[in-house]
Amino acid sequence: MGSLNLMPAVVQAVQVLTILMGAPLVSGVVAKIAAGLQGRRGPRILQPYYDLVKLFSKETLIPDNSSWVFLIAPIIAFVCYLTVPLLIPVLTTFGLPLGYMGDILGGGFILALAGFSVALAGTETRAPYAQLGSSRAMTFGALIEPTVLFVVFAAGIITATDLPYSMAATVRSSASQIVRPAHILAALAFFMVVLTDTGRIPVESHSGTLEFGMIDEGRTLEHSGAPFALLKWGSAMKQLILYTILIDVFVAPWGLASNTRLISVLIAIPALLVKAIILGTVFAVIDNSFSKLRLFKITEFLAAAFLLAALSVLVFYLGGG
Amino acid sequence: MHTPVPSAFTGTSNMIAVLVLLTEFGMFRAPLLRSQLRLYALQSFLVTILAGFLAISHHIPELYALGIISFVLKVLIVPYVIRRFLDRAEISLSDDRSLGVASMTLLAMAVSVVGFFTMNSIHFDSAALPTAALDISMAVVLVAFLLAILRSDVVSQAIGFLSLENGVSIASMVVASGLPLVIDIAFLFDLLVASVVFGLLMRVHHARAKTLSTENLDRLKG
């Protein structure tokens, strides 16, 4: 059984399924660990799945004056989140058949399209908090964009390609690739991007119910029923996708399958989930150790991320570091 | 464009130098004087680590001595002196905000790019440290200038000067790591003198003006 070879297309489907089915699990485990750090018992690990099942069976309410955009946006976002795992190294060290249809920037654009459609739906409701969340999410999204671009530039000039697979291969190739400042700075900058994009503590309180502090969470306040389930599932998937990019491209691209044998793919799935949970624990510790930044101080945080990313490119380009 | 991969030694020493630059940026932005001081101590500690790293990898015994002296002086004594002054002055926040965050960060980045470019065009080959460390040390010096120029309180200006010395000492490690110990120690004692002078100036200024800000000095005539 160990030598059974899978078709590349099957492995690719398994990549998407891993993100799809694993995302609520990672969220659940991280929520449990975060609760443990605060001395609470916390929800069950499988709670996110129960939430999704419950939401899918609830009725869908549509605000007055909103159009089809309100209903189609969660589906577009969900499809976007299903597309990105085709492009990034989730389980394998090599690109699968559809893996080369877009580069790192392409993946970034698809994630941005998802964020845009959710924000559009939020704006369309004409409800104050959803609009507030949407406008903030777009503002900070625009401010984090230069950082993302510079991280992509850094990965691009280190590997002379723009494929996430070759960045991961470069990191694996030797220890000197890991300690070089261009790599460490780009990884740190991307870490801060993930912190911002998943709505974690220095930027946004992850589990709060206070509307005034909301950014990403605020956008979906008006949604209910199945579309809301898709949005919640989508945001869990977005989190796991970003974790996967950070882990499998920049920080720890080990434990991936280097061939299509069944056994190596089967090992790669729990390896990814465990790494994602470890990273999630790091985020939970950050959640517990820092306070939320005031809204107008978030730009300082984003400026720091941009500084790291820009320095990464500079050090490489001018110093060969 | 494919540049050769730097060795692990080069990468690590470049990384330490980059961390020194990052602490410089941190000092540039820190609103709390105490955290600025803490960052200065951290930066000096990083410079000490770089000296120790160099001493181990290149077997230069003088650098051990230099590392120990600079640790005692720059990580312990100088921050302690300024810390005691801050405790007595009972002012902890630098109140000037002449420029916004984004413009300050961008300005500092532009200045460090200038540093990178100028040093990079020299093509200096060092026996001890990678050339990139020299570029970074120039960037540290220029950002320290910016820190001393743009922040208008005496403590920040003193720290700007002191951290400038950290940049210079990295540069000296790159250019002349085999420098006779006496010269390095002379530099460090210069620093000690400077910190005494700065301590005195800060105290006199605070006693006269009842503030740490130097803005009223700008308006003096004559």
The answer as to whether A29 is a domain residue is yes
Q: For residue range A62-92, what is the model confidence (pLDDT) as tens digits?
A: 988 888 999 999 999 999 999 999 988 888 8
Q: For residue range B100-141, what is the model confidence (pLDDT) as tens digits?
A: 777 888 899 999 999 888 887 877 777 777 778 888 899 999
Domain span including residue A231: 8-319
Domain span including residue B195: 8-218
Interchain CB contact of A175 with B (< 8 Å):
yes
Nearest Cα residue to B166 out of B45, B72, B11: B45
The pLDDT value given to residue A2 = 54
pLDDT category of residue B198 using cuts at 50, 70 and 90: confident
The answer as to whether A2 is a domain residue is no
Q: For residue range B143-157, what is the model confidence (pLDDT) as tens digits?
A: 999 998 888 888 888
Q: Which of A176, A181, A304 sits opposite B7 (nearest CB)?
A: A176
| Residue of B92 and A72 predicted with greater confidence | A72
The answer as to whether A23 is a domain residue is yes
The answer as to whether B144 is a domain residue is yes
Mean pLDDT computed over B29-34 = 83
Task: Read off the pTM.
Answer: 0.90
Domain total of chain B: 1
Domain total of chain A: 1
pLDDT category of residue A101 using cuts at 50, 70 and 90: confident
Cβ within 8 Å, pair B7-A177: no
The answer as to whether A1 is a domain residue is no
Residues 18-47 of B with CB under 8 A from A: 18, 21-22, 25, 29
Interchain CB contact of B113 with A (< 8 Å):
yes
In angstroms, the CA A142 to CA B107 distance is 21
DSSP string, chain B: --PPPPPHHHHHHHHHHHHHHHHHHHHHH--BHHHHHHHHHHHHHHHHHHHHHHHHHHT-HHHHHHHHHHIIIIIIIHHHHHHHHHHHHT--B-----S-HHHHHHHHHHHHHHHHHHHHTT-PPPSSS-HHHHHHHHHHHHHHHHHHHH--BHHHHHHHHHHHHHHHHHHHHHH-TT--HHHHHHHHHHHHHHHHHHHHHHHHHHHHHSSSB-HHHHT---
The pLDDT value given to residue B1 = 41
Chain A: closest CA distance from residue B219 (Å): 31
The answer as to whether B3 is a domain residue is no
The pLDDT value given to residue A283 = 93
The pLDDT value given to residue A78 = 96
Q: For residue range A254-307, what is the model confidence (pLDDT) as tens digits?
A: 888 888 888 888 999 999 999 999 999 999 999 888 888 888 888 889 989 999
Q: What is the ipTM of this complex?
A: 0.84
Residue A250 per-residue DSSP state = I
Q: For residue range A105-155, what is the model confidence (pLDDT) as tens digits?
A: 888 899 999 999 999 999 988 888 999 999 999 999 999 999 999 999 998
